Amino acid sequence: MVDVTRCRSLALLVVAVVAMSACSVSSDDSATKVSNDHVPFGLLDKNSGASAVATTGVDTQIFFVKNGRVAPVTRRMDPEARPRAVLRELVRGLTKDEVDAGLRSALPEPNAVNRISVTAGTASVDLAGAFASLTSTEQLLALAQLVFTLTAQPGIGQVRFTLRGEATEVPLANGSLVSTPVSRDDYAAVAPV
């Protein structure tokens, strides 16, 4: 006669072994990259307490110069990137592909900006001394690069400039000089086509 209890125990053991083998760790000799689509929900969430394995980034526009106008390029940046990080990316300069596409920067790299802060929708940018040595055309384009890049960031509509910590006048596209905050409208003549 067959012992029913023993058969049930054996059946449960077989089911447990099969289930455990289905959840086992791969026997690969090296790590395998997994796309974000296959990572369990919430694991990549910075606020979940789990350490972030990867970030997807967001498309962020920064502006360089092409044919006498500012021209946007898209860079993938951390979604938490603040204006300071975006400005660092602008000052860092162009990639080889962007240079090959005919883009350039009017900013005197890499020390074009001393510091930046944002208050009530206005970015305050302190320009370095190297900025003063630019020709008037290059100053205009460099300012337009900064204005278009910063106002592409959420919550920034205007930019105020100082030079080495002192109030300064900046040229506008219409040839006038102002010491008040400026916006994209002030550089419409060199805006992207």
Torsion, CA 187, CA 188, CA 192, CA 193, rounded to 10: -160
If you count them, how many residues does the chain have?
193
Q: What does the pLDDT read at residue 43?
A: 40
* Range 55-59 contact pairs with CB under 8 angstroms and sequence separation of 24 or more: 55/79
Tens of pLDDT, residue by residue over 98-136, are 999 999 999 987 788 999 999 999 999 999 999 989 999
Query: Rounded distance, CA 78 to CA 86, Å?
Result: 10
Q: pLDDT of 157-176, one tens digit each?
A: 999 999 999 999 999 999 99
Given a contact cutoff of 8 angstroms between Cβ atoms, the answer to whether 176 and 85 are in contact is no
Residue 29: pLDDT band with limits 50, 70, 90: low
Q: Provide the mean pLDDT of the chain.
A: 80
